[in-house]
Amino acid sequence: MFGNIGYSTHPLFTEMRRLEQELDDLFGGSTPWTGGIRSTPPGTFPAINVGSSDDSVTVYLFAPGVDPQKLDITIQQNVLAVSGEREITPDPAATYYRQERFSGDFRRVVSLPDDIDPDKVDATYREGIVQIRLQRRESAKPRAIQIREEAGAPS
């Protein structure tokens, strides 16, 4: 029924495919992280997203119900380590049907780009997400290069 559309050539579908590819690239389908030595299996608590811009790198930790005061965040060179605990004490009088939520101690380590400045870090906790923002070093930021006119050049 849909055979005549011509999936491979119709402009709408090629555009869709390009978008899919872009999304895969954006969401880590083929980043250096995939298969990294510090990568962890899907579902490891807490989930981590890392975004980078020209002047900063932001790490998002999806840690609902974690007391931010009990989080230990350390950075050495470009390696960031976060450890903490989320203890869930089950009600002994209750009947449990599902216990999918992580309970216990956790530690996650991520390597970040080399040019981050370990002295310029700031962390916030909101709605169960820890946001750690690290500045990149000045020298690593892209700069526009001015072209100056040579004095006495023939015009």
Partner 1 sequence: MNTQNELTEGRGATPTPRRTSGPESVLRPAVDIFETSEGITLIADMPGVSKNRLDLRIEANNLLLEGTIGIAPQENMAALHADVRATLYRRSFVLGNELEASKIEANLKDGLLTVRIPKRAELRPRRIEVKS
Nearest 5°: phi and psi at 123?
-130, 140
Distance CA 96, CA 150 (A): 79
Instruction: Between 127 and 150, name the residue whose CB sits nearer to partner 1.
Output: 127
142 contacts: CB under 8 Å, gap ≥ 6: 54
CB of 129 to partner 1, least distance (A): 5
Strand order across the beta sheet in which 79-86 lies? 72-76, 79-86, 104-111
> Whole-number minimum distance, CB 49 to partner 1, in Å?
5
Q: The tokens of 117 are what?
A: 């400045």
Q: Which is nearer to partner 1, 78 or 118 (CB)?
A: 78
**89 or 155: CB nearest partner 1:** 89
Is-cis flag, bond preceding 11, omega within 30? no
Task: Report the nearest approach of partner 1 to the CB of residue 5 (Å).
Answer: 20
Based on C-alpha coordinates, what's the Rg of the chain? 23
Half-sphere exposure (CA, 13 Å, Cβ side) for 52? 13
Q: Minimum distance between the CB of residue 11 and partner 1, rounded to whole angstroms?
A: 19
Question: What is the smallest separation between the CB atom of 154 and partner 1, expressed in angstroms?
Answer: 41
Amino acid residing at 61: L
What are the residues binding partner 1 (CB under 8 A)? 20, 23-24, 26-29, 31-33, 42, 44, 46-54, 56-58, 60, 62-66, 88, 90-91, 93-102, 110, 112-113, 125, 127-129, 131
Q: Which is nearer to partner 1, 118 or 129 (CB)?
A: 129
134/154 with CB nearer partner 1: 134
